[in-house]
Structure 1
Amino acid sequence: MPLSRPAEREHIHTRTVTCQGFRRADGLWDIEGHITDIKTYGFTNHDRGEIPAGEPVHGMWIRVTVGDDLVIRAVEAEMEYAPFSACDAIAPNYENLIGLKLGPGLRKQIRERTGGVHGCTHLNELMGPVATTAFQTIFPILAKESLEAPEENDTKPPRRNPLINTCHGWRSDGPAVKRISPDFYTGDK
């Protein structure tokens, strides 16, 4: 159900975040994020001159390459549109994220490596949806493949579902975990 009918208002700004997940031929995964900020009015920018209505103020990309273990193997960042001419100089710093694991504590580690003057607020924000997209891309495929090859998994202990306790729906004592990952269900049995 959509939101309720709003009060009378004027549209001023649109932020769009798009993320896509890809399985590579080499077995790794590419997760790409794109963020744009667009105004409904034109304005003058010191570095870019006149920015007309509809032209992005921010248009930034990031590609994170991870393995099945969600450890970052490579990062590429690009700034197609930025408010200052110096912004794109920081893009190579995102290689400092190599070695981090997508999961708990990621935001703090990103701030430590690319926070403040060592990074871009917009690219750092984009890493949240990128990480979520990685989970949405990778885990369903690995789960499906695991079910298709059960004999390989019969001798291994069940792998913890990394989504457990990440939100209300995935709480360890909830109906979804009881149904999907019963080995890790902590509610009444």
Structure 2
Amino acid sequence: MPLSRPADRDHIHTRTVTCQGFRRKDGLWDIEGHITDIKTYAFTNDDRGEIPPGEPVHGMWIRVTIGDDLVIRAVEAVTDYAPFHGCDAITPNYENLVGLKLGPGLRKQIRDRVGGVHGCTHLNELMGPVATTAFQTVFPILARESLEAKKQDDPSADGASKPARRMPLINTCHGWRSDGAAVKRIAPEFYTGDK
């Protein structure tokens, strides 16, 4: 269901964030993020001169290479468009993220390594959607492969006799609340609602 009909208005700005996940042939995973900010009007910028409508004010990319464990093995950052000359000078600093694990506490660790004058606000913001894209990319494939391997060992296996597991998503949002229907159905051992 889309949003309700808006009031009369003029379109001023568009921020686009795109993230994609890839499985590499060497078994690692690449997660790529791209962010752009575009105005619908021309304006003058001290460093770039006239920026026409539709030309990005910001245009940054980041590629994070991770393993199955979500630990960052490599990072590449690129700034195609920035409001100031020299913004791209800090992109090599993103290699300082190598060794971090995508998960709880990531934002603080990013601030510690590439925060403030040592990084780019937009690239740092982009790491949030990159991390969630990593989860959406890696875990479903690993789960499917695990189930397929179990079925090869025992063709009657249907995944019903799952080993004890940790569910890091419980209570991270309304849909994953411990007393909700999704948890009752997907992870009943963690369900806390009415029995």
Cα distance in 2 for partners of 1:10, 1:46 equals 26
Write the mapping of 1:139-154 to structure 2, written as runs, cut at 5 A.
Answer: 139-150=139-150, 151=153
Q: Which residue of 2 aligns with 1:184?
A: 190
Q: Deviations over 1:142-169 (max 9, x none)?
A: 111111122499xx94332332222111
73 and 145 in structure 1: CA distance in 2 versus 1, 3 angstrom threshold: same
In the alignment, structure 2 segments of 5+ residues that lack a partner are: none
Residue 174 of structure 1 aligns with which residue? 180
Percent of aligned pairs sharing the same letter: 86
| Distance (Å, rounded) in 2 between the aligned partners of 1:38 and 1:180 | 41
1:1-189 to structure 2, matched below 5 A, reads 1-150=1-150, 151=153, 157-189=163-195
Instruction: Give the Cα separation in 1 of the matches to 2:75 and 2:18.
Output: 17
Report the CA distance between 1:3 and its aligned residue. 1.3
> d(CA) in 2 for partners of 1:143 and 1:187?
26
Offset, 1:183: 3.4
2 CA distance for matches of 1:103 and 1:188? 30
Structure 1: runs of 5+ lacking an equivalent: none
The aligned amino acid for 1:30 is D
> Counterpart amino acid of 1:24?
R
Three-state SS of the structure 2 residue aligned to 1:149 is helix
Q: What amino acid is the match of 1:26?
A: D
Structure 2 length as normaliser, TM-score? Answer: 0.90
Following the alignment from structure 2 to structure 1, what is the Cα–Cα distance between the partners of residues 104 and 168? 10
Larger mean CA deviation between 171-180 and 79-88 belongs to 171-180
Change (3 A) 1:162 1:26: farther
Q: 1:84 to 1:78 in 2, by over 3 A?
A: same
Between the two proteins, the alignment pairs up a number of residues equal to: 189
Q: Structure 2 CA distance, aligned partners of 1:184 and 1:147?
A: 21
Tell me the TM-score normalised to structure 1 length: 0.93
